Amino acid sequence: MLETAREPDISAPRPTPMMEQYIEIKAANPDSLLFYRMGDFYEMFFNDAEIASRALGITLTKRGKHLGEDIPMCGVPVHAANDYLQKLISLGHRVAVCEQTEDPAEAKKRGGKSVVRRDVVRLVTPGTLTEETLLEAGRNNFLAAIARARGVGADGGDRLAIAWIDISTGDFRLAETEPLRLGADLARIDPREILVPDSFFADEALGPFFRGLPTPVTPLPGAFFDGSTAAARLAAYFKVGTLDGLGSFTRIELSAAAAALAYVEKTQISERPPLSRPIRESEGAVMLVDAATRANLELVRTLSGERRGSLLAAIDRTVTGPGSRLLAERLASPSTDPALIDRRLDAVAFMVAEGGLRTKVREVLSAAPDLARALSRLSLNRGGPRDLAAIRFGLDAASRLVAMLSAADAELADDLADAVAALADAPRDLARELAGALADELPLLKRDGNFVRVGYDPDLDETRALRDESRQVIAGLQGAYATETEIKALKIRHNNVLGYFIEVPQQHGERLLGAEFAGRYIHRQTMAGAMRFITTELAELEAKIASAGDRSLAIELAIFDALLGHVIAASEQIRSIGAALAAIDVASALAVLAEGENYCRPHVDRSLAFAIEGGRHPVVEQALRRDGGAAFVANASDLSAPGEGDAGLIWLITGPNMAGKSTFLRQNGLIAILAQIGAFVPATSAHIGIVDRLFSRVGAADDLARGRSTFMVEMVETAAILNQATNRSLVILDEIGRGTATFDGLSIAWAAIEHLHEVNRSRGLFATHYHELTALSQRLDRLENATVRVKEWNGDVVFLHEIVPGAADRSYGIQVAKLAGLPASVVARARDVLSHLEETDRKSPAATLIDDLPLFAAAVAKQASVAPAVEDPVGPALDGLNPDEMTPREALEALYRLKAVRAQKA
């Protein structure tokens, strides 16, 4: 568990004023590490320092004493704070950033020992990050809040609502759900932090669920989720009189949304993120894919947690961060609306057909920045000149794409036409203003200055000239005075006493004191052989030179604020443009994928069809090509409902390990997902009726943290499938029941198939090594047997990776063991044991094998010496038969002869 910071004991002797201030601020933020700003460092004290030094690997030092003991201290430089924040947040810590809110000069006016005022300006938590260095470009950073309404479900059960916000992009979504579906919804949203009422942890059902999540869960007081004030809180945030203009939301959805907004306001203190108006997701709008299925299919991450090797990594050809996020979002939430899917497929098809245009579009997109995140940082006053430049370049990219796509020879697909319309609404005046104001080379922080282009503001140019070219300015003024007075020996000099002054020879000085220049040159000092003067102009210039650096920065900051105001005023347009750029990026990227990998456009409708020809696994196929292996073997599958039936087929697949069963299972699930995100699929043709829920239980692993064995995990996942699958679902099951005793496992698998067939009525793929299950096809009319073709050659097995109708009669486990490299003696012994087991099973299936099957060859010999030999009555006759060369009639006759031989011996 993460350490929590202890509040220092503040009893007894009074601490120093600075430490007193620290203790006061820390007491107001007990659950966060306090980054206390002191000059160029964020310092931490007491237990915070001990925690941070261990977490960050930095030196723990001391600063003075408190209550007679040394005060532990450590610190991080302000300029490198983001790197340290990233590490602390990844470890699950929260950080309160405390800044100086007063100029030190002002503090001195209150007395020499006055402490500069400080206050917490922001709470940094996993779900409220905005800094570019703390975020993944291709992943949303969602904060989710969950509210509950008791007993309002159709069945009298509880209902839940989820609100999720990404303050780095402004995305804001709402949806209702139910306890049984909560895990699947959280898996697709993939939040970085979850907010729940603190009462959830005491709930018998929800408490264990939330305590077992890998995502940080933050409990909040129930007042955050108060439904009676939720509508008013949302209306106040979006500055509207009523929520009618935002949409129609249920009370529980408003409760979750208000809690999320309240937490955002709490963590951002005085800043207000520019959130888009909340979008409500209707129930059933997306394919439900639970957490176990996402893990089994490795949609966005592999089982080891890496992006490489996942489906997302295999299909992502986007060239922008927003495009990658949009693709990941679609992959997490495949649509169940055929019309929306067709619109997306039309956009991909357009980009496939217009290859030359697509290349030009992607060149423009590759230079387009992340508008949404730049806008968010600027709105939260965390942005800099480069964020303003990002807005400028994003608007430029929008204008260029409008010109390109509007000039296309073919008619634009509807999705692309909508995107072009959004891009055409770009505020061009703002783009021109930013282009004229911003220099070509920009600093990261606005406080560094020099980000305004020369020539944009005359006052700034003059001030910079004073700052950077004071010698030239003074020389120019000296020349002007020399010309005016006709004194060639006139010089402007400087010392620490007089500052800048005019110096002339003694004989010329008397003239400057005369009526000709009365009041113009003011006498300051007479020296031996020289006189010194100043002018009002020179005094003003001196003051300007002395403050030129501060004045130039102040002017630049004022320009920054003015530009920022223009950007904020156009935030809605900028956000729409960012979304349009992402949509174009995804369409063009999927077209590149389709063309490069030879994918086809799927036909998606509301039927119960599932017919795929030449299907391939997108990840495995690319891996084989990359590693120089054999070409991927494509396979067909057809689980379509027969005729006008209301239920699809179930394929029972048998065959040896390593033959490709699991790959075949997974590829069908991945093809369904790709089709429903609006992508072309790895097949020669595909007709897919909408899949409302996808379930996949492939592979096995224990869950030691929850005290679950491998078999228990398998049963929990299987139970979830059998309790939730519908006739529109696609169910993929691999080796159900293999984790327990043979007859127990066979019985469970048998019953599960019957339940899927009769109750769930789902389309399904069921792989098994229980060959006995193939007999079920004789009485379950929608169960069909399929197997993986293999060939034996000189005692070895050759996997052909082809799925064909029929059933396997062997598992070839020993051959697979041999391929894996088991010692030859072990393989040979395994063959002997298998032969004995098969013989025993033929003679007496109910025999106790422990008594009949010795473990070692020596034991076999010993048993043979004490046990009478049993003559095999039909063995010699069987040895003379070759079934492969016999006709059916000859086989039947041979069978009768064998029966007669056995009768005679008996």
Question: Which positions make up the binding site for ATP?
Answer: 655-662
DSSP codes of every residue in 552-583 = HHHHHHHHHHHHHHHHHHTHHHHHHHHHHHHH
Q: Tell me the two tokens of residue 150.
A: 């008791």
Cα–Cα distance measured from residue 216 to residue 239, given in angstroms and rounded to the nearest whole number: 31
Cα–Cα distance measured from residue 92 to residue 210, given in angstroms and rounded to the nearest whole number: 15
663: left (phi over 0), alpha (psi -120 to 50) or beta: alpha
Q: Annotated binding site, which residues?
A: 655-662
Contact (CB, 8 A) for 325 and 585? no
Within 10 Å of residue 160's Cβ, how many Cβ atoms?
22
User: Strand ranges (DSSP E) for 482-546?
Assistant: 491-495, 499-505, 522-527, 530-534
Q: Which of 224, 221, 243 is nearest to 232 (CA)?
A: 243
> Distances from the Cα of 633 to the Cαs of 66, 595, 621, 684, 802, in angstroms?
73, 19, 9, 13, 7
Q: Evaluate the CA torsion angle 41, 44, 45, 50 in order and state its sign.
A: negative
Distance, C-alpha 857 to centroid of its chain = 57
Cα–Cα distance measured from residue 332 to residue 286, given in angstroms and rounded to the nearest whole number: 9
Within 10 Å of residue 137's Cβ, how many Cβ atoms?
13
φ and ψ of 481, to 5 deg = -65, -40
46: left (phi over 0), alpha (psi -120 to 50) or beta: left
> Distances from the Cα of 699 to the Cαs of 292, 297, 663, 750, 795, in angstroms?
10, 10, 11, 19, 28
What is the DSSP secondary structure assignment for residue 151, as one 8-state letter? Answer: T
DSSP codes of every residue in 271-324 = ----PPPPEEPPTTSB-EE-HHHHHHHTSSS-TTS-STTSHHHHH---SSHHHH
Q: Give the residue carrying structure tokens 């400087």.
A: 494
Kindly give the pairing relationship between strand 69-77 and strand 41-45. Answer: antiparallel
Residues 6+ apart with CB under 8 A from 34: 5, 22, 25, 26, 44, 45, 48, 95, 96, 98, 120
Q: CA end-to-end span of the chain, whole Å?
A: 73
Contact (CB, 8 A) for 368 and 397? yes
Cα–Cα distance measured from residue 487 to residue 516, given in angstroms and rounded to the nearest whole number: 14
> Distances from the Cα of 877 to the Cαs of 458, 872, 887, in angstroms?
111, 10, 17
φ and ψ of 655, to 5 deg = 145, 170
Q: Tell me the two tokens of residue 554.
A: 């102040």
Q: Which of 166, 172, 210, 217 is nearest to 194 (CA)?
A: 217
Residues 6+ apart with CB under 8 A from 470: 545, 548
φ and ψ of 651, to 5 deg = -95, 125
Within 10 Å of residue 488's Cβ, how many Cβ atoms?
8
Compute, in degrees rounded to 10, the torsion defined by CA atoms 149, 150, 154, 157. 130
Q: Tell me the two tokens of residue 303.
A: 């089982």
Task: Find the DSSP H helices in 169-310.
Answer: 182-189, 206-211, 227-237, 251-268, 291-297
Cα–Cα distance measured from residue 521 to residue 504, given in angstroms and rounded to the nearest whole number: 11
